Amino acid sequence: MVEQGFDAYQIDIETPADFSQFLDADTLIINITNKNKMAYEQLIKQIEQSPIKQVLFISSSSVYQNTNDWVREERQYENEESILWQIESLFRQSSEFSTSIIRFSGLIGPQRHPGRFFRNGKQVKQADAPVNLIHLDDCIGIIEQLLEQHVWGEVLNGCAETHPSKKQFYRHAAELMNQPVPDFNQDNAASYKIVSNDKVKTLLSYQFQYPDLMSIPASAYE
């Protein structure tokens, strides 16, 4: 990063520190896996005292309850016990900056080939449940469009257009890699959700690079 002309910082939000130099910007993108709510509360206090005016918080569609139906941003299907949803709420409650949230579904792409997810005898549970996945290139594309269009104060789902069953998709993914088909658990009592991407397509006019999970070429995973 330094060699490419960027300022680089090592930040641990769980360690008390002065982040003012790092927060000297107009916009902050938060894309970390930490789920320490108290650490985020302290980070938000520092953001509120900084020049930051917009925060893009990268979240996950795991905040939704399993409804065995479609889940959309406006339908309030969030699981209020989810720590991640509670962290989202902390950012949205601040009046010192605007927050947009992107709830991405499961990541696939380079270094994340789904044909490797269930190797070595690992069983695919609830094989008939639909998958909610998105390619890395579309994650980056959605972020770029949100920033370029200055869309703030919104919650958006990031998920591919199609939702084949786990059995269909992971069989296909294994075959792309010439790997053995994984073991599928035919559990009839599947609990699932289907993540809608309608809002991101409408609000951002975003066109997915890989809308159909079953049509993603093997080269897109390299």
117 belongs to a structural domain: no
User: In angstroms, what CA-CA distances link 142 with 13, 93, 96, 134, 204?
Assistant: 26, 23, 25, 11, 8
* CATH number, domain containing residue 214: 3.40.50.720
Average pLDDT, the chain: 94
Per-residue pLDDT at 9: 87
Q: Mark out the alpha helices in the chain (DSSP H runs).
A: 37-48, 83-93, 136-149, 166-176, 198-203
Interval 116-159: pLDDT, tens: 998 877 899 999 999 999 999 999 999 999 999 999 999 999 99
173 belongs to a structural domain: no
| CA separation for the pair 43, 188 (Å, rounded) | 44
118 belongs to a structural domain: no
Is residue 4 scored above 90 in pLDDT?
no
Residue 3: pLDDT band with limits 50, 70, 90: low
Interval 149-178: pLDDT, tens: 999 999 999 999 999 999 999 999 999 999
Is residue 2 scored above 60 in pLDDT?
no
43 belongs to a structural domain: yes
The residues that bridge with 28 in the sheet, in sequence order, are: 55
pLDDT > 90 fraction of the chain, expressed in percent and rounded: 84
User: In angstroms, what CA-CA distances link 195 with 84, 94, 106, 136, 150?
Assistant: 17, 27, 11, 17, 24
- Domain extent, residue 102, equals 8-112+132-163+192-221
65 belongs to a structural domain: yes
19 belongs to a structural domain: yes
81 belongs to a structural domain: yes
Is residue 114 scored above 80 in pLDDT?
yes
Residue among 64, 73, 72, 132 nearest 101 (CA): 73
Is residue 179 scored above 60 in pLDDT?
yes
20 belongs to a structural domain: yes
How many structural domains is the chain composed of? 1
